[in-house]
Chain A
Amino acid sequence: MIRVKNLTKSFRKRLAVDDISFAVGKGEIVGFLGPNGAGKTTTMRMLTGYLMASRGEVWIGKHNMATESLAGRRLVGYLPEKVPLYNDMTTRSYLAYAARLRGLDRKQAKARIDAVVATCGLADYVDVILEKLSKGYRQRVGLAQAIVHDPEVIILDEPTAGIDPIQVAQTKALITELGKDRTILLSSHILPDVSAICERVIVINKGRIVAEDRIDNLSDTMKSGKRLRLTINGPAEAVSEALSRIDLLLSVTFDKPHHYIDYPFNQEPQAAITRVIVERGWTLLAMEPAGMGLEDIFFKLTDDAGSIQ
């Protein structure tokens, strides 16, 4: 449903998106990952017709967005990074406006609004002025407008940004449900948010695709992003040596004064680590989870890509 060929976008001299190609099929949920400033938003803006490409092609369904933008836009529901709410409208009137702009008549709009209000958990807020909504509910209204016209293609830019963990879980469940018979592309810079719901991810950095694969094919580090930070009273090198002998551990790095351990998300190495340290007579001062920064992973991926070339 979404096809992107050699897509490039430059703003004056800055190259924001550099010759990327990918496709997303019907019924697929694809994650679009990258650190801030990687070019995710710019790419999504070109997919939705908000921006024109400098070079390359975007196809939505059978429509080339350069020549048949209106027909393409008709198939797309889009939640921009900055939730596009008119603060003086109520949830209902806003959704009605969004639905009518997308071609629904009054009757269809009313039925669809009732449906999305229920799916997005907005029943208690339909007559509230949008300005008064909390961040989490603003995000929900944003999601509701993206799906109010029941689009075939849904493009979500950071749908889980800035909302609390319960809402994140609800949003993920909703996206999974929607993805059964639609085409969904969602962006995030938070890896676990994406890995739980997407079959496939496209990793982008500095405007280029650095990795694209099914989630279970990507490295464990990619998949999990789990990391422990240890503070150990003992000879650093010997400690590293001993820790790396625990075979289920992925990798050990020493960055004074901490040891970092990256491990697959389905394992719990804490007990083994503790045992090793106690056996050697060292002291474990602290052990705490330290999320592996996505930036680190991107650096790793870009490095990998570089070394292959």
Chain B
Amino acid sequence: MRNIGIIAAKEFRSYLNAPMAYIVTAIFLALSGTFFATYLAGTNYTDTSLAGFLNAAGFLILLFAAVMTMRLIAEEKKLGTFELLLTAPVRDAEIVLGKFAASIAVLTAMLALTLYYPLLLIVFGDPDLGPIATSYFGLLLIGAASLAVGIFASSITSNQIVAAVVAGGILFGLWFLGTATRFAPGGLGEVLSYLSLVDHFPDFVRGIIDTRAIVYYLSVTALFLFLAVRSIETGRWG
């Protein structure tokens, strides 16, 4: 735990010292705010929900994750600092978890900045707070899974662009599995639907916390963090 904390704190500070987190957060807020507001305007301000924001947020978080994680390991490989990290008495899993924790912290901070959307709804209307809370929980779960995919992608290359593209590819693939279910027959469709990143999210928006969904997101997260650890281990064999 101690080592995870040390690595997470260092990575979090790196995020704050570099412009990337601020740029991505600014873009995220600008786009999600626009979706939030235009949806409300579209209903002539009769609806008091986050639907506009939530429809876009999941997808935006995928982009966010691919960009925010691309340097986490790839850059260390390029700069040679990975040699410092891998020869320190630190487990490979601690390295991965430390970096993951830092990226989750940045995502949480970014989502916290959107809390003024529900605040506006509370001030000017009477929104149902339950679904809003579960929606944010769902977004964090999507975020965790996406960040894990990004860290895995970053662990297999020393090129940040490659890492971002690979992460984007995997994430969009998982995302659009949901669309594929429409063309797949019966059982296969259900399987694909279960594997899709997006198909579990609507429940959270409706205020339902489905254990299957939580298990799904946490499994994806754990799987890709595990793959990242394995990829580092494999690297030690040259």
Q: Interface of A with B (CB < 8 Å)? A: 9, 11, 45, 48-52, 70-71, 73-74, 76, 78, 80, 82-88, 93, 97-98, 100-103, 145
Contacts and interface: CB of A to CB of B under 8 A. Distances in A.
Contact of A87 (B79, B83, B85, B236): B79
Contacts of A51: 236-238
Given A84-B79, A84-B81, A102 B17 contact: no
A71 to B, nearest CB: 8
Contacts, number: 70
Contacts of B238: 9, 11, 51-52
B83 A145 contact: no
A78 B79 CA distance: 16
Nearest to B84: A84
Interface in B46-85: 79-85
A49 B232 CA distance: 13
Interface string B4-44: 00110010011001100000000000000000000000000
Give me the 7 closest cross-chain CB pairs, A-B, nearest first: A82-B80, A84-B84, A101-B88, A48-B87, A84-B81, A74-B89, A80-B83
Given A52-B236, A52-B237, A97-B10, A76 B79 contact: no
Contact of A101 (B14, B85, B237): B85
Given A50-B236, A52-B237, A85 B85 contact: no
Interface in B76-115: 79-91
B3 interface: yes
A86 B79 CA distance: 8
B14 A88 contact: yes
A102 B79 contact: no
Given A80-B80, A80-B83, A100-B6, 9 more contacts: A9-B238, A45-B83, A49-B86, A50-B86, A76-B87, A78-B87, A82-B83, A85-B81, A86-B14
A82 B79 CA distance: 8
Interface residues of B, number: 24
Contact of A102 (B13, B89, B91, B236): B89
Contacts of A11: 238
Residue picked from A9, A74, A100, A102, most chain B C-beta under 10 Å = A100
Nearest to B95: A101
Nearest to B236: A52
Contacts of B83: 45, 50, 78, 80, 82, 84
A160 to B, nearest CB: 18
A153 B236 CA distance: 21
Contacts of A73: 87-89
Residue picked from B10, B84, B87, B88, most chain A C-beta under 10 Å = B87
A158 to B, nearest CB: 13
A71 B7 CA distance: 19
16 contacts: A49-B87, A49-B236, A50-B236, A73-B87, A73-B89, A74-B89, A82-B79, A84-B83, A85-B79, A88-B18, A97-B6, A101-B3, A101-B85, A101-B90, A103-B89, A145-B84
Given A52-B236, A88-B18, A70 B89 contact: yes
Contacts of A83: 80
A11 B238 CA distance: 6
A30 B87 CA distance: 21
Residue picked from A70, A74, A97, most chain B C-beta under 10 Å = A97
A177 to B, nearest CB: 23
Contacts of A101: 3, 6-7, 84-85, 88-90
B237 A70 contact: no
Contacts of B90: 70, 101
Nearest to A48: B87
A9 B237 CA distance: 9
Nearest to A74: B89
Nearest to A102: B88
Interface in B181-238: 236-238
Given A11-B238, A52-B236, A88-B18, A98 B84 contact: yes
Contacts of B17: 88
A82 B77 CA distance: 11
A11 B88 CA distance: 23
A274 B10 CA distance: 64
A265 to B, nearest CB: 35
A176 B33 CA distance: 63
Nearest to A93: B13
A128 to B, nearest CB: 14
Contacts of B79: 82, 84-87
A103 B90 CA distance: 9
Nearest to B81: A84
Nearest to B234: A52
B84 A80 contact: yes
A82 B80 CA distance: 6
A82 B237 CA distance: 19
B91 A70 contact: yes
